[in-house]
Chains A and B, each alone.
Chain A
C-alpha cells in the first residue's frame, strides 16, 4: 500500500486557501473585467458564492468514504474498469493544468522579470522545486505552506494599504450597468478557476487528514477567504486601473502593484509583490502535480508514487513549452474548452457519483460491514 501521512485541519485550511487563490489573483480580474466591465466585482461576489456551494458538495462527498482518495472513490462507486477510466481522465486534467500553471509562471517571469531568459530555463527551475516538493510528500508541502501563508498575507495587506490612496471612485460608476448574461459568463470563469478545479483537493481531503470532520469546515472557510482575497483584488483593480485597462492587461494584479506610490518615496515595489503570485502559483501547481502523480500511482496500484515524479516532471516541462503557441490561443482555451473540460471533470463527474452513491448506498454499506 502507498505510505500514509496525515496533516491536520489547519494545514488543510492553508492549502485550500493557497489553492483557491492560485492563479485567480493574477489572471482572473482581467477575465472578469472583459465581460462585465466596471461591475467585475459583482461577478466576483457571485462567483465566490456559487463556488462555495460546489465546495460544499465536495466536502459532503469526501465524508462518505473518510479513508479513500478521489481515485479510490471512483473505483468503489463505478467498479474497477469504468472507475479507472474516469480516474485517468482526472489525472490527465491535473497533469494538463500543472503544465498550464508552469507555463503561467514562466510567462509571468518572462514578461515582467527576466525578459531575455528563455522560458525553458525558468520552467525547468520551477519544475525542479515542484518535483522536489512532491517527492518529499504532502506533510512537507503542508508545513511549508503554513510558513508561506504568513508571508503571503503580510505582502497582501501591504499591497492593499499602500495602494488605497490611489482609489478613484469614478472608475466604478455606473454600478449595475451590466446585463445578466455577461455577468453569468464572467462569474463562471471564477467559479471554474477557484472552486471547480478544487476537485483536485479531494485527493488529499478525506484520506490524508487526521480529523476529516473539522477539515470539512476548513475546506469551506479556505475557499471563502480565497474568495474574499479575489474580490478585494478585483475591486482594487477596477477602482484604480479602471475597467478598460484591467481587461486589456495580461496580469492586472501586477499592473496594480506598479501603481503604488507613497509620497514619491515608496514606488516601483512590484517585484516584491510578484512574490505573492509566485507563492500562490507554486502551491497550486504542487497540489495539481501531487494529485496527478498520486492518482496515477493509485490507478496502477503501485506501492510507491515517488518513482513517477521525475519522468512526469520531464513530461510536464515539455508540455508547458508547447501548450500555448500564443496568447490568443491561451485566451480562447481559457474561455471555452478549458471551462467545459473542468466542468466535466469537476462538476459532472461528482454529480454522477452522487447519483450512483444514492442508488448503491445500501449495497456499499453491506460490503463495508462484511469486509
Chain B
C-alpha cells in the first residue's frame, strides 16, 4: 500500500507540511479561519538543524508497538493504517513513551493524535504531500510494504 516517505535531501524546513496538516485535520474550509491566531497541533513535525531536516510522521509499523502498549485499547491497525479511537483514548501518554519515531502527540484537547494518511478528512492525497513544494514528502508504494 501507499505510505508517506520523506526525502530528507529535498526538505527545506519550510514547515508548510505542519500547517497543511493542521488545516487538513481542522475540519474548517479555509486555512485562515482554521489557523489564524491559534497554536497548531500538526501530526507531522519537522526535525533537524540548519544543515539537514526532515518531516516525521507515523510510519504505520508492521508490528506497531503503540498498539501493543495502549492501556485503553484505543490504538489499532486496520487496512495498513494505525488509527486512534478518540472515544477510548485516556491521554496516558504511554504511546508517546514507546513510539521510537515520536510520531504521536496530544491534540488541543489532550486526546492523542497521529497521522492517519488523511483518510478521515476530505483530502485524497495526504495534505503534507500535496503541499510540499519540493517533493520532500511523497506518498508512494515501496518494496516491502504490504
Instruction: Say whether A associates with B.
Output: no
Interface residues of A (CB under 8 A from B): none
